[in-house]
Amino acid sequence: MDKVEKIHQKATTEINTVGDLSKLEKLKIKYLGRHGEINKLLQNIKSVSNDHKKEYGQKINQLKNKLTEIIDLRHQKLITQSEKSQSVDISMPGTQTPKGCLHPITIAIQEITAIFSKIGFIRMSYSEVEWEYLAFDALNMPKTHPARDDFETTFLSGKPHEKFGKMILTPHTSSGQIREMWRLKKPPIRMINIAKCYRPNWDATHTPMFHQFEGMCVDKNINITHLKGALDYFNQSYFGPETKTRLRPHHFQFTEPSFEVDVTCSACNGTGILRRASFAQDDLTVKCKICKSGWLELGGTGMVHPNVLKEGNINPNEFSGWAFGFGIERVIMMKYGIDDIRNYYTGDIRFLKQF
Ligand code: PHE
């Protein structure tokens, strides 16, 4: 009888303190299973005297019922507990998914388009695959021009066109000048062609695919002052109101006269010198690392060559125009002082999310 009572107490504490359902299952087997404690007690009935056999049997039966009952109760309790812990707490803050952002090139394309649309320029996006004729011949570039070498331009396989020659990946956006003259047939033309360009280079300032934006304005009496005004307007809008623009004589086959465009460096305000505050009486000055001279080179421009206007079926005696072509990757680099163009395309999220 003592043993029955002991097992009763031990089983009750064990069952009431067990923490999970699988352990409870083990306790059930331990006490109520075929080789469990209850059956062991029943086997002991042989050694109990006849007088007590009945009472002993009843006690064990009671214990069996009692244990079954508390195991069931415990089972219920553990189930409710686990349901509670799995239920949704609607007052908890949700998991934050990382937010995406626009690529810096996309942002710049939007900005440039907006700046030029304010002065009446229409955004075009001429194709990335072009005829050799439109990219070179129509732009007054002789067959022997070094840009037509396959070190500089990517030629596509396929049958060349009788007049237009081979197919290429556009090495610059200037073929858009011809296409826009063909499309509109007659001036006025105010176009901004933004497209992908391809040249087989890969270093800190070149990627084999990059973007250019090509501005073109053709009308009656257009001269260099209009070009300079448009460039001043763009550079001040994009780089900041203090920006100064300078034209340097240069040569392109498709413009005459031709220029390279420089803008004042925004890091040193065009001085080429950075001031470092010092505790000593004299100021320490250092050369600006970004520009070295106060000016940064933006790209090429000039007055559209009469031969190019003729290719576009426009009479050069009646109309004149200007054009420029700048790199998008480059203007962003100048604006923010980025020193490696490959950052745009290696997909490092730490770089991309700064814009
Ligand atoms: N197409 C020239 C380049 O890629 C730039 C340019 C465009 C120069 C228009 C003059 C006029 O370098």
pLDDT at 142: 95
Looking at 2-6, 165-169, 234-238, 253-257, which range is the least confident one? 2-6
Residue type for position 289: K
- 256 annotated ligand binder: yes
Distance of CA 94 to the CA centre of its chain: 25
pLDDT at 137: 97
**Which residues lie below 8 Å from residue 100, measured CB to CB, with a gap of 6+?**
none
**Count of CB atoms within 10 A of residue 14's CB?**
16
Pocket lining: 300 vs ligand 1, CB cutoff 6 Å: yes
Higher pLDDT, 83 or 169: 169
Q: Quick one: average pLDDT of 54-60? A: 90
**Count of CB atoms within 10 A of residue 77's CB?**
12
Q: How far is the CA of 20 from the centre of ligand 1 (A)?
A: 76
Pocket lining: 312 vs ligand 1, CB cutoff 6 Å: no
Mean pLDDT of the chain: 93
Q: How far is the CA of 214 from the centre of ligand 1 (A)?
A: 8
User: Going by CATH, does the domain composed of 104-352 fall within 3.90.1200.10?
Assistant: no
Q: How far is CA 38 from CA 3, 7, 10, 28, 170, in A?
A: 11, 9, 13, 11, 90
All structural domains of the chain with their residue ranges: 2-79, 104-352
70 and 16 Cβ atoms separated by less than 8 Å = yes
Pocket lining: 245 vs ligand 1, CB cutoff 6 Å: no
b/e map 32-41, b = 16+ CB within 10 Å: beeebbbeeb
User: In this structure, which residue's CA is closest to atom 10 in ligand 1?
Assistant: 301
Pocket lining: 176 vs ligand 1, CB cutoff 6 Å: no
pLDDT at 278: 60
What is the per-residue pLDDT across 108-147, written as a single tens digit (0 to 9) for each? 999 999 999 999 999 999 999 999 999 999 999 999 999 9
Count of residues for the chain? 355
Q: Please choose from 247, 254, 260, 320 the residue to mutate so as to test ligand 1's pocket, defined by most ligand atoms within 8 A of CB.
A: 254
Q: Is the pTM of this model over 0.85?
A: no
Helices 224-239, 104-117: axis angle to 10 degrees equals: 130
